[in-house]
Amino acid sequence: MKKESNKQSKQAPVEISVEALEARIKQLEMENEYLKKLNALVQNKEKSQNKTKRK
């Protein structure tokens, strides 16, 4: 993931359209859902590996 610098706060305020903000929100929501699912898959894989190692 990219980290954005705080340079924008030092510059003059930038007008951003409502549509652009809504698109960014949608993108972040989709990314969040993807990361949640990925995390769940990793945890399930770790659990299944632990179960097989015990035998």
Q: Could you read off the pLDDT of 14-30 as tens digits, one per residue? A: 788 999 999 999 999 99
Assess whether pLDDT exceeds 70 at residue 4. no
- Residue 1 scores a pLDDT above 90: no
Is the alpha carbon torsion for 36, 38, 42, 48 positive or negative? positive
Of 5, 54, 1, residue with least CA distance to 27: 1
Q: What is the mean pLDDT of residues 39-50?
A: 93
